[in-house]
Amino acid sequence: MNDMTQSGDRLVVVSNRLPVVVKQVDGQWTFIPGSGGLVSALAPVLRNRGGIWIGWPGTSDADPATLSGLLREATRHSGYSLKPVALDQRDKEDFYYGFANEVIWPLFHDLQSHCNFAPRYWDAYNRVNRRFADVIMQNTRPGDFIWIHDYHLMSVGQELRAQGIAARMGFFLHIPFPPLDIYMKLPWRFPLLRALLEYDLLGFQTLRDRRNFLQCVRLIAPDLSVSGKGQVITIRVGNRELRVGTFPIGIDYQEFARGSKAEAVVRKARELHEDLPGRQVLLGVDRLDYTKGICHRFEAFRNALQRFPELHHRTTLIQVVVPSREDIPKYNALKMEMERLVGEINGQFTQSGWVPIHYIFRSLSRTELLAYYRACEIALITPLKDGMNLVAKEFCAATPENNSVLILSEFAGAAAQLQKGALLVNPYNVEEVAETIQRAIIMGPGERRARMHKLKRFVREYDIFWWVDSFLRAAIAKDLSNFPVPEEYVPHMETISL
């Protein structure tokens, strides 16, 4: 394994979006913190360690001088360099909304009926991946380790190899990798597999995802050989050798645990309890997305209220939906269906002093989110398919240990790690979910404490820093200690939180 020179020890993170969004507010260009699992995961790792994050800044309208100035300011706050990739409106339509969100996203979540295999989407995907590769070539130096993220950029490694780059490259897929019979529906299935084989290390969330990938690769490489066992294995395809591992992503456990004990959070959680006296509160927190199973969840809650009338007045479901991809028609239709179900269920069961579902459609501040985690006794996290689901881990880190229950879909990547403490359910089986809701509500304090103790211990041990260390060790035999804080970066952690 070729090691990096000491002078070149930099992490170069590449993702579809930068960890800040450049936008106009009241006629002025500014930057705001990005959102999503990737930003939550990697920002604490890169902060004040230097290195580079390459991605789209969220706009194509800002003039270059304005954009450059904003990103310099964002760099000063974040402690690592931000390098933009320019995308125009056509790229946004055909690459992001098209190939990424109408092909790969539904297909890799086993929802192929939502796919639109328009040929121009594939052309746009290759064009944009090539543009990302160009920016990487302009901003890296020998010895850098290039870590590319997620389904938007699967072909970047191949584009870099075509330009002659010799740097070591890793790729991590944050969403599931589909089984063979579903992946085969992709018209460009073989070119995409060949592109993935250009990396030195491929990372997946679960063993199931890695197994699915290997089954697909055998189609184009029947002579595939596998050696090793455990978290990371080595595969040889022709004259090329690469490593393939499972790296379930974690959270910054200590940040959530400490944050949940802040005075403002404790006060807000107390207010929530006072507004819902004598209730056990179930909590769902999801982006607006059809993979999250929110409508199935509402139907399961309705089923529980129908079959277990003793739950009336005793429990309330708070469902937080964070707006996402609202420009895509399917997401607007989903929002309308969710709102219809909430109105229907509340109309069916509401009684004086009790409304079964409290529905919130907006982003939450960090204080609000932590207060909900702390105040709600039961987390109801039931995606139809999910790469990991960090909300489940955040809830475990932030909730009090002695009075909380996690109900988790068996199709979430987190289920592989959290199965010994969570109550696992099939989100398609509304009767099973309803029965599990009833079980959670009547669960005694001893079982609750024992289960949550297991969950907290696991989330604490396999946190975000374990995830990064394990990936870097597999890729380049290094960990975070090999990426020291450069003197030119001044910490501004209190100024902006990503």
Q: Which residues contact 375 (CB under 8 A, 6 or more apart)?
A: 268, 269, 270, 272, 273, 281
- Both structure tokens of 81: 């360099």
Q: Is residue 386 annotated as a catalytic residue, yes or no?
A: yes
Nearest to 439 by CA among 307, 285, 334, 292: 307
Phi, psi of 12 (to 5 degrees): -115, 105
User: How far is Cα 238 from Cα 36, in angstroms, rounded to an integer?
Assistant: 38
The one catalytic residue among 174, 209, 289, 463: 174
């996203």: which residue's tokens?
A: 105
Distance between CA atoms of residues 271 and 13, nearest Å? 41
CA nearest to 192, candidates 88, 254, 117: 117
Clarify whether 3 is annotated catalytic.
no
The angle subtended at Cα 365 by Cα 50 and Cα 282, nearest 5°, is 120
| Whether 197 contacts 217, CB under 8 Å | yes
Is 240 exposed, middle or buried, given 0-12, 13-18 or 19+ CB atoms closer than 10 A? Answer: exposed
Measured CA to CA, the distance from residue 273 to residue 291 in angstroms comes to 30
Catalytic residue among 9, 150, 386, 463: 386
On the CB side of 201, CA atoms within 13 Å amount to: 25
Structure tokens at 66: 């304005």
Return the number of other C-beta atoms located less than 10 Å from residue 447's C-beta. Answer: 12
Dihedral of CA atoms 20, 22, 26, 27 in degrees, nearest 10, equals 160
Report, as residue numbers or ranges, the catalytic residues.
Answer: 174, 386
